[in-house]
Structure 1
Amino acid sequence: MASETEHQAMRCAIEVARERGNCLPNPTVGCVVLDADGREIATGATVRGGDHAEAEALAAAGERARGGTAVVTLEPCRHIGHTGPCTQALIEAGIGRVVIAETDPHPEAGGGADVLRAAGIEVETGVLAAEAEPLNRAWRFAVTRGRPFVTWKYAATMDGLSAAPDGSSKWITGPDARRDVQQFRAQCDAIVAGTGAVLADDPRLTVRDTDDLPLPYDRQPLRVVVGETTIPNYYRVFDRVAPTLLIQSREPEVVLSKLAENHIRHVWLEGGPRLAGGFWKAGLIDRVIGYIAPSMLGSGRAALEGEAATLADLRPIEITDLCTIGPDIRIIGTPGPAPRETYV
């Protein structure tokens, strides 16, 4: 059973990983190395496109790692990717024990614990797994489900409208809420909007004000424009700030399949009630983040287009967070299952 020192080290590893930030399409991982006497001697976290957490921590520990313990938030990988297998690095460093929070579900990278045990290293899994789980919730979902995790963000008035009758929608919410959005956008690796929203608002679809983010941010998400309408090339979505992918289909399954082919793990869906309605009806929205302004429009466009005909079509949302952001209200929730069709 893991010691109190190892529990403390795991909490440190989780925090180190959180501070490193988004590593998509790879998982976010933290590692703490303890020497043979149980003293913390090094930490590391996965670098997007670079070293894994174990490699960084072992490099910092050097020979002091021999006979020590590696405390890792995710099972060390056993495959060769951009770097060598972390399992081999741990074996060569002379690590005697590895403490793991979550096992790796990836079909190629997973199974590292068995490799370590076969090499004579003591391994314990499941240590503070619940505390480590939020680090890679979207990544794990994508790996196990074969499609990206989808977060739908919308902004609306208290009467549920996201645009006035003339189509204007900037700005429904205040500057505090708009800054808050950037923190969530930075957690994703693709921002998706429909052609109608792009033509109406000419958005850039990027993470803005990156200097104000609490974590380092070095790479913009893939911008994805969905639909068959042509977007003129002078629109801001085609500037050089970030790459842009055009998908000439509004079918949610087609869109997500194409994004999975591009190794996208977490989609930020915004811009267009019709597009959001298609994803909602298909049951392909996994998290909702709504910003509600303390105002009323009375008429205009709803935040979501759908075909619900009766209250029996309501789809419940489990609220996981509710707070105020400046004068606005932020609601985060997890949708329940889509209603089943009934046949007479």
Structure 2
Amino acid sequence: MLIDLSKRLGRSVIVVLLVTVAAVALLSLAPGSIAQVMLGENATPEALAALDAKLGLDDPIWVQYGGWLGNAVQGDLGVSPLTGQSVTEAIVERLPVTMQLALMGLAISLAVAVVLGIASASKPGSALDRAINGVTSVFLSVPAFIAGPVLIYFFAIQVNYFPVTGWSRMADGLGDNLRSALLPALAIALTEIAAFHRLLRTDLIGTLREDYVIAARAKGMSSSYVMLRHALRPSTFSLITVAGINLGRLIGGTVVVETLFGLPGLGQLVALSITSRDVVMVQGVVVFIAITYVGINAVVDLSYGMIDPRVRKAVRA
């Protein structure tokens, strides 16, 4: 058990390091520097060189990365030279917005997908199954940057119930907070609904053909009882795995939605930091998202034993 945990921890550290190295390498290829952003287009080469030296940007990229990594290991993700705000403070300030969007989007997609998956698997090939597959195919083909404006037009402009842009904190009222978060979360959830539905439908159809399910039906148990009691739980392994992976991806992938709806989350922070060449801020947010992603996957692996006791027995054996 300890050996397995050590191996998993070692792989996780390697993944985080590779992600940060890739982020730094890609940003180093982009033209311009944060000194140009801070001093403006009319800055002289001498002024730019002086500011680069002051910020340590004239050092080789590997030296800059090594210095940042040494501080990051001690819990110091640095301070943005552009805003003067610490990276940790910026993450803590914007994380609740991104987490709420990701969790709401995931919850909506799972709830809808489970209902649709059960309905489809109950009568595969029926008119209902074909209709659901058609609707989810539409969801799957509509990315967030298209779903967002469509939702804004119909529900924010035409219906005039949801705000077009902006964010209301929970402290300002739960109702206002949910109204500002629902449309962005729905834009995130549409594609996930389609993917989750198809995955659960396939697994449920396979599980319903197992001998123990057929035996349960032969004993006179109702179809709904067999579905919910015997078929659903063992059919959710793939769903939980993908949901856990997608949660980590959603936390770091809300850039488009947060930009469309003007939400002050981590996605918008990364987009603005990349545009302004704020490497310190980008590195800090990237390493936080990578650690979160790896942690979520570890929790997903551990959750298998809670869902099906047979997994615990297999691990002990």
Max Rg structure:
2
Q: Which has the higher strand share?
A: 1
TM-score bracket relative to the smaller structure:
under 0.3
Larger RCO (CA under 8 A, 6+ residues apart):
2
* TM value normalised by structure 2: 0.24
* TM value normalised by structure 1: 0.22
Q: Which has the higher helix share?
A: 2
